[in-house]
Amino acid sequence: MLAKVSDLQEREIINVIDGRRLGPIKDIDIDVETGRITALILPGNGRFFNIFGRREDYVVPWEKIVRIGVDVILVEAQQFPEMPRKERTEEWIR
């Protein structure tokens, strides 16, 4: 199956463990050496009506994706590993 990044970003992310809607894809991590997607990045929850900013983004590893459907992407995530964007970027550079 081939899909554009923009097509994936329009799909809702659903956690199959609890049925919770996790929101849209904010960004995608790609291994530039292999050209493969390694993780989906979801926006963190807002704090107090987003007045005090947002929490760190959620990282959903590719291995946790159960199925990519027409309208949704199903993931199996008990807890999301949270890693600030800056730290993830530094890991790629090393």
Strand partners, 36: 31
**Secondary structure of 20-64 as H, E, C letters:** CEEEECCEEEEECCCCEEEEEEECCCECCCCCCCECCCEEEEHHH
Class of domain 5-93: mainly beta
Strand partners, 56: none
Residue 8's pLDDT is 83
Find the length of the chain: 94
Neighbour count for residue 80 (Cβ, 10 Å)? 18
The pLDDT tens digits along the chain (94 residues) read: 777 878 888 899 999 998 888 888 889 999 999 989 999 998 876 555 555 555 678 889 999 999 999 999 999 987 654 444 444 444 544 4
The residues spanned by each domain of the chain are 5-93
Question: Which residue from 32, 58, 34 is spatially nearest to 44, judged by alpha carbons?
Answer: 58
Task: Quote the pTM value.
Answer: 0.69
Residue 76's pLDDT is 93
Residue 81's pLDDT is 47
